[in-house]
Structure 1
Amino acid sequence: MLEDFRLIVDLVSVLAAAAVGGVLAGLCRQPALLGYILGGMVVGPAGLGLLKELLQIETLAQFGAAFLLFALGVEFSFAEIKKVQGVALGGAALQIVLTIAVTVVLCGTIGAWDDLPAKGVFLGAILSLSSTAVVLKCLMERNETSTPQGQIMLGILVVQDLALGLMLAVLPALNQPPEAIGMAIGQALVKIGLFAAGAIVVGIWVIPRLLRLLAKTESRELFLLGVVTLCLSIALLTEHLGLSIEMGAFVAGLMISEVEYADQTLTYVEPLRDIFAALFFATVGILIDPVFLWQNLELILGLVALVFLGKFLIVTPIVMLFRYPLKTAITVGLGLAQIGEFSFVLASEGRSLGLVSRRIYLLILGTTAVTLILTPFILQLAPQLFKWAEGVPLLKPYFAPGELPKEVATGDVVENHVVVCGYGRVGRNLVQLLQEHKYPVVVIDQSEAAIQKLREAKVGYVYGNAASLYVLEKAGVNKAKSLVITLPDPVGSRLALKRALEIQPSLDVVVRAYQNRDIELFYQLGAREVVQPEFEASLELTSHVLKRYGMPVSAVAGEMQQIRNSHYLDLRPERSPAEITRDLKLAIEGLNGKWYTLPGDSPLVGMSIEEANIRWLTGVSLVAIQRETGEQIDYPTAETKLDAGDRCLVVGAVPEQSAFNQLVKGEVAVPASTTPCQWLQITAGSPAIGKTLSELHLRREYGVQVQAIRRDGRFIRFPDGTADLQAGDQLLWCGGSYTLNQLREWISPTPPLAKLDVPVIKVAVSEALEEFLPLDSQRENRL
């Protein structure tokens, strides 16, 4: 074969292997970059040996690293990082320093290298970096990029990527005498400072004008060509200054990130970035020797365990030092415990400088690759770990989201108000619209930045975790008319919904769903309405088009409402039963789920879920049924009948599950399907206060039975006659409608809690979401 075509053939081979590996990784629900690495291993010298021009391939792969960091710089948001700037800057710096220090001490203790600390510093620098690509991919798949743990991880990762430039600048001095290292660090800092000053000047006065000139040509090709030239020119400048191509590309992205053309730039560059990034990760795989990995498997697995444990023990206390909850700190520690993809860049540079032997270099590559592969699995197991910890009495106080509110400022808003969980962009718009309609509002948020905005706007707030019973009680959920949940964390949203209904079972709750699999679960948990932004965008756009075609406004509104009433079923992609079951398992992560079998003599046999009134009587939510025939019903409807031998998956707290078990076994009476049940609250001045249920003679004289009592966020299931009544208790009464109405006037002199009309809140939520509706792919990508 002609040598002129050898590079083309090699390049096609690498890209094809990366594509196949990426597809296989996608089918296994793993990040595509893991498939790229495995594809590179297959066609590399240690695999099939298909490549000849390896040096040229590695050179092209540098473009992948450069475009990765360039796109990261364009996407970089100073506003988002500012929310966690303390732990992002201070925590990341402390983590890097501690990792290097621990590595130096450990290497010195075991005598790994003779010429310490230089090589120990080099290894520590490699270990200190975590994977931006893998962690970001996992956070996006779990929709956790806006959660506290997601923001902390991304903030630390960005600082680590910035530190890479300093590490690459100092690296050449590590093979010099120790006294030269301090001089090299000083020179590197001076270079970086001068370069940063120049970048700021160019970013303010040159870049905007250049991009504006390119945009005026109205040519996509010229705009892309200009942006790529700008990126690579700055990257080559930093390489000439002795910093790194990667650092220059990142700075070029930062210079564009604050310009009005940032979205357009990112849209044009993303395809190019993805291709070269695939090439970069495939090249990483090419460098890995699978035979060497197998021959040193025990050593590499030991190093992997040491890396995970060591970085976890370093990162977790640092996050806690910045006063974040233990659960958040552990999640961040697990998420950052791997070695990052840019450690390959550092390791390759160190090998060329003679800092490591080939054996040590291959050990570094193998350990890094294994940690990247394991990270998605570890993050998936974290919710199960927390669920187990919450079930252990000694650990529950540390892991259960029951922390007290840090600050409460609700003013005169104590009843008949709307509680909004989450004061992000949607929450702010929602609060503004509700205030325009003169509805009193209390907001729950655990971000200091959000609370400061609420203070300035003089909006009632509770500073704390919306999934906490104590926080919800402080927000007055028991006296609220409605609850709107706009939290970015799906697990937090589920817990907030579940616990709010524990406090007030008849509360109208509207929830924003980020993922399709959450829609049905939110309804099962008791939400009155679930809003999915993308589906709402489709409905609004369709409504506009249908009206323009002359369809009557009432007919359009009716059709759109019918789709909403069906839980967007017409818009959701069709899924197989296996996919629905898998999504159900993912959706109930973080919630207490347990299977119960209905015995043949259970009073629930033959009743529908609506007739059994399971949620009102016990507080649990029935989310799946397995028939004896093998049929599985995920998210059963209210009309679903229960049969003998059914295995029921219920979600609820331990006391709620215990009450359900009593109900299933017939240990307590189940009201007939025609018997109405109603929650009534004992208000101050009620003659029932201080009396026991037996003293009231409710069953004998009125034919009414109290099935449950809610008191201070606790459920008293199926109370006996010795239960005394207190002011504020909520009682579930079952009996005749006429009798219940008479008892209401006697037990609760004031009218029962009213409910805000759900369509009012639904409209407010929809209007609040309009700013973020994906009207075009550019906005959707930036969101």
Structure 2
Amino acid sequence: MPRRLLLPLFLVFATVLLGTLGFYLLWKDQGATWLDALYMTFITITTIGYEEVYPLDSTGRILAMLVASVGVGSLFYLFSVIMDTVVSLRLEGTWRQREMNRISNHVIVVGLGRMGRQAALELKASGIPVVALDPSENAHQFAQENHILLFNKDGTEDQSLIEAGILRAKGLIATTSNDATNLLVVLSARTLKPDLFIVARASDESAIPKLLKAGANRAISPYAIGGRRLAHLILSPRVVDFFETVLTGKESFSLEEILIQKGSPLDGLALGELQARGCQASVLAVFRGAEPLPRPPLDFRLLAHDRILALGTTQQLEQLEKLASAVSSEP
């Protein structure tokens, strides 16, 4: 709103200034003061219609008409901008509240900087609802352009997290550039929802242990990851190119973690029998408890509450997830 008000406010100010100067020069010989000229400009712009302070000749009447035309137009422009902004904010608040009432299992992104924007876009592309918290004007513009639900509020405040639906969220990503801010976000989020999955950014690697102790499930340093990626491009460029092609190509492949629910067709099924069920995704590892089992053999039997790390296309992974979550109809 402040930016939108600059032009109409400038027009009103310029009209008052030039009108006051014009009337003062016209009436200076008649003993007029600057206050007389300002008063005349004011009653002209506001169309109050009081009598002129001093008689106006032809030049004065032309000046009065110009001041009235430009001044009235500038005032209407100013009022229209104010009313449009107020109405838009009310409508936006109503829409935001309606969206929040129906959203659940979403991810809250605190901080829409460079990392936060990429995280939000990636989540959105994966079909996961995103709610962002960032008080900056740039964040508001980015959220509007990408249709992301945004609260222009501080993510360190408990009330802001509650308004963003943290009690119904499945995860939170703290991506501000300040480690102390991320630490406070993690503490607040963990206090409000103890079972929330929290990922935090650490600008300094020394902050990672602190973020983990504060309640983050994962804490990463983008600089460390970027450095390892650069090193891998030198050491194994074809491997990196392969994963870039596979994960971002036209037929996009993805890695997903899928939970096997109790009573699903996969409960008790051997990995070698997956293809018979029509599953084409590749199982890379199985997480049973905290221990990962990489490349399990074909006779390995899956159990309820196991987590599968699978590679495949979107359709293949959706099919596997459907099998893992569907309730078996067998007795």
Q: TM-score interval w.r.t. the shorter chain?
A: 0.3 to 0.5
Larger-gyration structure (1/2):
2
TM-score of the superposed pair, with normalisation by structure 1: 0.18
TM-score of the aligned structures, taking structure 2 as reference length: 0.42
Q: Larger % of strand: which?
A: 2
